[in-house]
Amino acid sequence: MLSYLKDKTILFVEDNVEFAANTTTLLKIFVEQVIHASTLAEAHDVLVHESIDIIITDIKLKNENGIDFIRDVRSADNSTPIIIISGHKDEAFLFRSIPLNLTAYLLKPIKYEDLIDAMERCSEKLKVQNETQKELKEGWVYESETKTLLKENQHYSLNKKEALFMELLSINRDRLITKEMLQSSVWIEDEMSDSAITNFIMRIRRRFGKDFIYTIPDLGYRFKL
């Protein structure tokens, strides 16, 4: 399972230089790259400019709160595995952190067997996500488990019809999408009309760009030309 992490990148947020150096060396056993940030400003900058697969952060930094950072991440991204590290166990915090969808909680000094367990959890989570993420085109990815559309660091929540439409596109990326296919896969038991389809496609283009889906006159729609 850990072999799945070999090409992954970790963002490691820690302000203790010596601990960060030692832990980074250890983490490089599991992943291709570890990017260290000693402040939250550095961490946010890394997220903007780098593709990060796993986040590991201390919850108490110098004059900063790692929990605020996690909340900021989770406001736009609920899928990236996050591991927190702390110098002491806080049962009250563990209860409050449930909505943050954390993968593991590690205590300093980190025990090797605990780190192994945490990395295995991350590996399993990433593997499941990869199986549920379906690449569409030009960086667009449909996440079937969470019903969201992803591009770079942007996450777009989808309503029921939009999610069904993206599922249809992910299966038929290079095929013509006919009205019959829309009726059976998106509208299903709802009444479908030409105006309803036109309005739906217009909303899709307004949200994701005018070239997101192409109209083939009198035939249907295509995701790729």
Enumerate long-range contacts of 116-122, CB under 8 Å, 24 or more apart: 116/2, 118/83, 119/2, 119/5, 119/30, 120/1, 120/2, 121/81, 122/5, 122/54, 122/81, 122/83
pLDDT above 70 (res 95): no
pLDDT exceeds 80 at position 86: yes
Domain spanning 2-132: CATH superfamily: Response regulator (3.40.50.2300)
Mean pLDDT to the nearest integer, 11-28: 96
Contact predicate 181/197, CB 8 Å: no
| CA–CA gap between residue 198 and residue 215 (Å, rounded) | 10
pLDDT-derived band at 91, boundaries 50, 70, 90:
low
Predicted confidence (pLDDT) at residue 24 exceeds the cutoff of 90: yes
CATH says 136-222 is which class?
A: mainly alpha
Q: Which of 18, 82, 80, 38 is nearest to 56 (CA)?
A: 82
Domain boundaries of the chain, sorted by first residue: 2-132, 136-222
- Beta carbons within 8 Å of 147's beta carbon, 6+ residues apart: 157, 158, 163
The answer to whether 57 and 84 are in contact (CB under 8 A) is yes
Radius of gyration of the chain (CA): 21
CB of 58 closer than 8 Å to CB of 37: no
Distances (CA, A) of 84 to 4, 142, 185: 21, 28, 41
- In this structure, what token pair is assigned to residue 52? 């990060």
| Tokens matching residue 39 | 């402040």
Question: What are the tens digits of pLDDT across the range 148-182?
Answer: 999 887 889 999 999 999 988 888 888 899 888 89
Digit-coded pLDDT (tens) for 96-115: 676 788 999 999 999 999 99
Q: What share of the chain has pLDDT > 70, as a percent?
A: 96
Say if strands 140-143 and 133-135 run parallel, antiparallel, or are unpaired: antiparallel
